[in-house]
Each structure stands twice: as structure tokens, then as C-alpha cells.
Chain A
Amino acid sequence: MGRVVLVTGVSRDLGGRFARLVAEDPSVSRVIGVDVVPPRVDMGDVRFIRADIRNPVITKVIAGEDVDTVVHMSVIATPGTAGGRTSMKELNVIGTMQLLAACQKAPSLKHLVVKSSTTVYGASSRDPAMFTEDMAPKRMPKSGFAKDAVEVEGYVRGFARRRPDVTVTMLRAANTVGPEVTSPMTSYFRLPVIPTVLGFDARLQFLHETDLLEALRHATTAGVHGSFNVAGDGVLMLSQAVRRLGRPNLPLPAFAVSSVGGFIRQARVADFSPEQMEFLTYGRGVDTTRMREVLGFEPEYTTAEAFEDFCRAVGPGMVSPERVASLENAVAGALRSDRG
């Protein structure tokens, strides 16, 4: 008898892909997908149950299906897809509370995996260069997804205290990029002209989408207790990332970026949330030593490679590397021919 895995948030892209991925694992006998809306793509071996995790009915699902592993993936960062910030917060916070309450009542549960985010560390000028898992944010996130993530982590820690027999793995994923990811960060990089904060250059770390899924699968099967930062190796500066993307950037003073960001959000061009401002000003780096040594996971893509893959999917902008290289050759060639 293999394991029975329950995955929340399967109708969203990454949740669905993760559910299918984990269904292929030989140690897993059954995968149950839960979400409020039915998935739009074929879910393969995954059994879909339409249930709202904000509702106590989830208790019946966990108990009835004899679930021993819960993978909580429905902490969402994009208010647009959830139908506004209010409903996003409700889904994130109340959903997690209900899910954890149901988990606490389920004696069969052995393992809980929660996908969190590195936004819980916040972003400020007083940040250390690299956050390790036991560091607290220097400035608590006050709004939006980052605050939700902090609250979700708080509930998960409370759960871990009350059910010491359950192995709780919390993955703090860096900004996930990839050809198919929709997140505030990827829609920011998809803007034709990228607004940046004048006088600041943020350090960014990226995680490729396949690495995120692989890390979750690894966490589901390995069963290691604790919180782990998950990010690709190395760091990219925001200016560097924009240049690699080949798009023009528009440095604006901080107050202008937030109003432009608000306009972009209202025009529904991109989900440009205010808490991104701090991140785009100061950036953030996380230490991944524990991911390698304790969790035993090694991402396939580095930060730069993950971003390169994203660039390929987005397509080169106005200042593509080819154009710059050909301009360089043209200038060098012209000068040489003139002399010769």
C-alpha cells in the first residue's frame, strides 16, 4: 500500500503539474487533487475532488480518503487570478487555517508539505546579504502576499507544535520563473518597458519551475522536517536581468514607480503589487546550504540559467544580444576597413 497524497490548488498551473508529477512516483499509490474550480487540463491519474479548503468539508475528504501526506500549494501570490485581494487573502489565510485544522483531526496524517515563499524575509536596507532559514525579517511585510505568507507560516509552525508526530516540510521558494509561470515577477518582466527604482539595483534569485516541482516532489517523498530555502545558485542584479531580457528599462524615483505600478495594475497589464516595490528596491538573497545538506535537493538550473530559459520563452526585446553583437561587429569592421 503506497502513500495517499492530497494536493491543494491543483487547478492552478503549478499545482496541476505537481499533482501529475507526484502521481508518477512509484511510492505513491493515489493522488487526490482539491480545488474550488475544476482543472482545465487533463489530470491523468490524479483524482479531482471539488472542495473549498475554506470549508470544513475538507476534513471529510482527508479522513475519508485516508490521506497520509498533504501538499499545500494554494497559497497564491496573484490577486488577479483569485478574484481580488480580499478573496486572495481569504483563500490564503482562512484556507490554510481550515486545512491545518482538518489535518490536526486526521490521525492518519504523517506528512505535511507547504509551499511558502522567500517573501517572508521581506526586503529592506538592513537585510543581510543572504538569509538563512533561522533569520527573521528585519522589517515585517505589512501587506499583500508577503503578509499572507508570514501568517501561513505562523499557522504551520503552530500546527507542527500541536502535532509533533507529523513531519512538516516548509519550502521557501525564491521567485519562480519559467516559460509557463504566471506570477507578479514574470508579468513584471513581460512589460514592454520595465520600470525600475532610480538609484537602486536589487539582487534577485530565481528558481526554475521544473526545479520547484522537483523540490516539492523530493520534499514529499524524502520526509525531512524543517524549513528550507529553495533557490537557484547565484544572484542576478535587476539591471542585469533587464539587460539580459533585452528590454529597455525606465528608472523612476521610488514614489513614481509605485504610482506607475498602481496604474499598471489598474490597467490589468500586470499584477504589480505594492510589496514588490521594496523587493525591486533592495532585493533579497537566500542561503541554500540547508537545502543541499539537510533536504538533499540540488536544483538543476542556476539563477542565471532559469532566467535565460524565461528569456527564451518571452522572446528577445529591442536590445537583443544578436543586435548588439552585430552592431559591435559593424563598428569594429568599419573602423578596420577604414584603416586598411
Chain B
Amino acid sequence: MADAEIIPLGTRGRPGRGSGNAKPSTAARNLAGGTAKKRASTPAGSTGPRQVDDTTQRRTPPAPEETAPAPEPSPSPDPTPASSETSSTFATDRAPGAGIPVGDWLAAFGSAAKELFGEAWEPRLAEFLAFLRRRVTGDYAIDEYGFDQEITERFLLAAIRPIAQKWFRVEVRGIENIPTEGGALVVSNHSGTVPMDGLVTGVSIHDHTGRHLRPLGADLVFRLPFIGDLARKGGATLACNDDAERMLRGGELVGVWPEGFKGIGKPYSERYKLQRFGRGGFVSAALRTGVPIVPCSVVGAEEIYPLVGNIPSLARLLGVPYIPITPFFPWLGPLGMVPLPSKWLIEFGEPIRTDSYDEGAADDPMLVFNVTDQVRETIQQTLYTLLMQRRSVFS
């Protein structure tokens, strides 16, 4: 039995998985028995008391083993008493914290804080701690749509900003067309396989005007775990007339992408060709609330994930509108999810006023169709102009 304890497997010689259990499983005992027999033939003299060394590995040749630990059998330099039952796999034996004094920890934290927050770290750290406390205790406010301004500004916008500015090098034009206050409806083209254009437009508007764009999203967005949650926290709500009108009445800057999945999931060959603008629900919402419609044209988003194929059967199975195939996805796996660094141009057109129409205008389908077409034409023409001005896709 003593032979079995020589096996230097990191389990302090006892069979098992090193889980520290006093009683190993049958399988483990069988395994140990087998090896013990094998080793019993080689080290003849080492049948004495325990002389296991932490450093001994299974691979080490038996020669030094015989010479080194054999002379000092009982009170070995091993930190753990030889007779104790603790195995080296216990976390307490190996925890690094024991040897480092508290002062050193604090100094390390202090310098880390300095590194992270700069020289004026103390007030900023205090502010950060207060932020953490507010989050942990739930002491923050959200609006009725679930918009969490703090999280949006600190994390969501901060995460998208470098992508927008450094990766896509967004150039914004006509930002003065966004009203500085009061409700307005930003209507944009939709492209790029994933709704990156919405996020980038939101960041650009926030950085130039300080206003939050409140996107209207498809119900699929709110059905998905995590994404739906993030969308609500980021200020989105469901694209339905009730919510749109409610937000516009509340004086919010609402963003809508009337092409929906038809626009975002169109093949690369149809890039910059606007799809049907839904049923014009956004126009009737604007007419009912009398807010201006700001047409927005985004150039560059079409090229980030060129959609060359689709798997309709799998998409139907998963209940999503399309399964994208790009030249890089899914062939390159996660690497294929890196968007191509196209150059983006975002232009906000002159606002289309809706407050001059009379009361029942929203219920006049012909008028709604006309205004819808007007918005669509404006965006399409601006897209062509911007495409002419762009030198190449990536510059």
C-alpha cells in the first residue's frame, strides 16, 4: 500500500482525481492498483515511510528519486506535515494571497486606479464607486419604455463610438436638420445584414446634438433574449403606431427604418435600392402628432457584410427572416463577423413638416402614400448623390 503513495501524480500519491476526497472511487482504486504493481518492481529500497515531494513528476526518472528524498524520511522540508491528510490540491495551500501584506494590495490598487483614471483619480474613482453602488442597489431611473440613460451613455454608446469613428470613419452632414428639441421622426434607409446603421446613426446624433435617438424595432428584436433587453435599455421600443405616437408626443427623437427586414436583408446586388416603405405607418404617426420627418441617408452600411446568400429553410426553422451568408461568414467563423471597414456617409435631409396638414390627414390613405413616397424619393436621391461623391468603398 505504501508503494501506491509514491505515485507522484499531483494527488499526493493517493489515488483519485485529487479532489481531496478521503475515499477514492472504485475505478480510481483499480487504476492506482495497476500502476502500483508496475512501479513496485523499480524502486526497491523506497518502501519506507512517506517521502513524497511536491516537485516530483511522473516523468522524472527513478534515479534521483532514490537518492534525494530517501535520506530524510520523517520530518521532510515539505510545508505540509507528512502525516496530514491534506492534499496539495486544496486551494488554501496554494493561494497566493497569504504571503502578500494588505498594504501592498492597496498600493497595487492605488496605482491601478491611477493608470485607469489618470492623475485626478480620486474623485473619479469615488464617482465610479458611487455609480457601482447605484447599480447594485437599483437606485437609478428608467423611463416607461425601459430606457436606461446611464447604461446607454456609459456602455452602449461608448462601445459603438470607436467603431463608428475609427472603423467606419463616419462623416455626418446636415446635422442642423435635427431639431434641438421637441419630437421629430428620423426616417432612414436600412442595410447591412445587421442593424449596425441604426446604432451608428444613434451615436452620431448623440455626439453632435446631445439627443438620444429612440429607435423603433421589429418585434423579433424584443423576442430575442439579451438583444431585446439591451434594445430596451438602449432606448428602443416596438415599432407600432401606439408606441411611435406616444414617444413623439413625449417630445422624443424617434428613429424608424421603414424598409425593415426587406432592406437590411437584401442581397448585395441590390445595394442602395430602397425597398418598399412598409405601410406608411410612420407617416401617419408623424401626421397625428404633427412632428417633422427628417430623412436620413446612410451610405457605407451596405458594404459591411455583403449578403451574397441566404438559407431560407434554416431561417424558417429558426423563425428569423434570413440566415446571412457573406463572403466571410460563416466560412471564417467568428472572424467572418468582423464588418468590412467601409467609409460611411450619413446625411440628414431637410425636415418635411407635417403640422400644416389638417386634423384628419392621417386617415387619408392617399395623402399618407404621397408623403411616404416623398420621403422615400428624398432618401433615394440623396443616396445616389452621396454615392457619386464617395471616391471608393473604403476611403
Complex CA distance for A269 and B10, rounded to whole angstroms: 45
Are B132 and A328 touching (Cβ within 8 A)?
yes
List of B residues within 8 angstroms of A283 by Cβ:
146
B229 touches A339 (CB 8 A): no
Query: Provided the pairs A324-B133, A324-B137 are in contact, do residues A235 and B143 lie with their beta carbons within 8 angstroms?
Result: yes
When A and B form their complex, what is the total count of cross-chain residue pairs whose Cβ atoms lie within 8 Å? Answer: 109
| A130/B146 contact (C-beta < 8 A), A199-B225, A244-B139, A332-B129 known | no
Contacts of B133 in A (CB 8 A): 324-325, 328
Q: A240-B138, A335-B125 are in contact. Are A128 and B243 (CB under 8 A)?
A: yes
| Contact for A332 among B126, B142, B224, CB less than 8 A | B126
CA distance A244 to B109 in the complex (A): 29
Is B122 part of the contact surface with A, judged by Cβ < 8 Å?
A: yes
With A201-B232, A235-B142: A282-B129 Cβ-Cβ less than 8 Å? no
- Bound together, the chains give a CA A338 to CA B111 distance in angstroms of 11
Which residue in B135, B140, B144 is a CB contact (below 8 Å) of A285?
Answer: B144
Q: Is B219 an interface residue (CB 8 A)?
A: yes
**Bound-state Cα–Cα, A150 to B219, Å:** 24
Determine whether A158 belongs to the interface, using a CB cutoff of 8 Å to chain B. Answer: no
List of B residues within 8 angstroms of A282 by Cβ: 222
Chain B residues 223 to 246 lying within 8 A of chain A, measured CB to CB, are: 223-226, 228-229, 232-233, 237-238, 240, 242-243, 246
Could you say which residues of chain A place their CB within 8 Å of the CB of B229? 199-201
Asked whether A15 is an interface residue with its Cβ less than 8 Å from the other chain, the reply is no
**Which residues of chain A are within 8 angstroms of B142 by Cβ–Cβ distance?**
203, 235-237, 240
Residues of A within 8 A of B226 (CB): 199
| Cα(A338)–Cα(B108), bound, Å | 10
Residues on A with C-beta less than 8 A from B148 are 237
* CB–CB A129/B139 < 8 A: no
Q: Does B388 contact A (CB under 8 A)?
A: no
Q: Would A335 and B146 be within 8 Å (CB), given that A127-B238, A129-B237 are in contact?
A: no
Q: How far is B243's CA from A339's CA once the two chains are assembled, in angstroms? A: 52
Total chain A interface residues with beta-carbon distance under 8 A: 42
| Interface flags, A193-214, vs B, CB<8A=1, else 0 | 0000111110100000000000
B146→A203 contact, CB < 8 A: yes
Q: Judge whether A242 and B144 touch: CB under 8 Å.
A: no
Which of B107, B125, B144, B225 sits near A130, CB closer than 8 Å? B144
Contacts of A245 in B (CB 8 A): 138
Contact of A129 among B109, B125, B129, B238 (CB under 8 A): B238
Instruction: Tell me whether A334 and B238 are in contact (CB under 8 A).
Output: no
Q: A243-B136, A335-B113, A338-B110 are in contact. Are A129 and B225 (CB under 8 A)?
A: no
Q: Which of A126, A244, A334 contacts B106 (CB 8 A)?
A: A334
Task: Mark contacts of A127-144 with chain B using CB atoms, 8 A cut-off: 1 yes-contact digit, 0 otherwise.
Answer: 111101001000000000
Minimum CB–CB distance for A285 against chain B, Å: 6
Q: Which of A129, A200, A239, A331 interacts with B246 by CB under 8 Å?
A: A129
Whether B268 sits at the interface, judged by CB under 8 Å, is no
Q: In the complex, A163 Cα to B92 Cα: how many Å? A: 78
Determine the chain B residues whose CB is within 8 A of the CB of A239 once the complex forms: 138
Evaluate whether A332 and B246 lie within 8 angstroms (CB atoms) in the complex, with A321-B139, A324-B133 already known: no
Residues of A253-293 at the interface with B, using a CB-CB cut-off of 8 Å, are 254, 282-283, 285
**Interface flag for A246 (CB, 8 Å):** yes
By beta carbon, the residue of chain A nearest B129 is: A328
Q: Is B103 an interface residue, CB under 8 A from the partner?
A: yes
Tell whether, in the assembled complex, residue B242 and residue A128 are in contact, meaning their CB atoms are under 8 Å apart: yes
A321 CA to B139 CA in the complex, in Å?
9
Interface string of B83-109 (1 = CB under 8 A from A): 000000000000000000001001101
**Closest B residue by C-beta to A240:** B138
Q: Which of A197, A201, A338 contacts B103 (CB 8 A)?
A: A338
Task: Please state if B129 and A331 are interface contacts (CB–CB under 8 Å).
Answer: yes
Confirm or deny: B329 has a beta carbon within 8 angstroms of a beta carbon on chain A.
Answer: no
Known pairs A201-B232, A331-B129; list 8 more (Cβ under 8 Å). Answer: A129-B237, A135-B242, A199-B226, A203-B142, A243-B137, A335-B110, A338-B103, A339-B122
Residues on B facing A (Cβ under 8 Å):
103, 106-107, 109-110, 113, 122, 125-126, 129-130, 132-133, 135-146, 148, 219, 222-226, 228-229, 232-233, 237-238, 240, 242-243, 246
Q: List 23 A-B contacts (CB under 8 A).
A: A125-B238, A126-B240, A128-B240, A128-B246, A129-B144, A129-B242, A130-B243, A135-B242, A198-B225, A199-B225, A203-B144, A203-B232, A234-B144, A235-B142, A236-B138, A236-B142, A240-B140, A242-B138, A243-B135, A243-B136, A244-B138, A332-B125, A335-B110
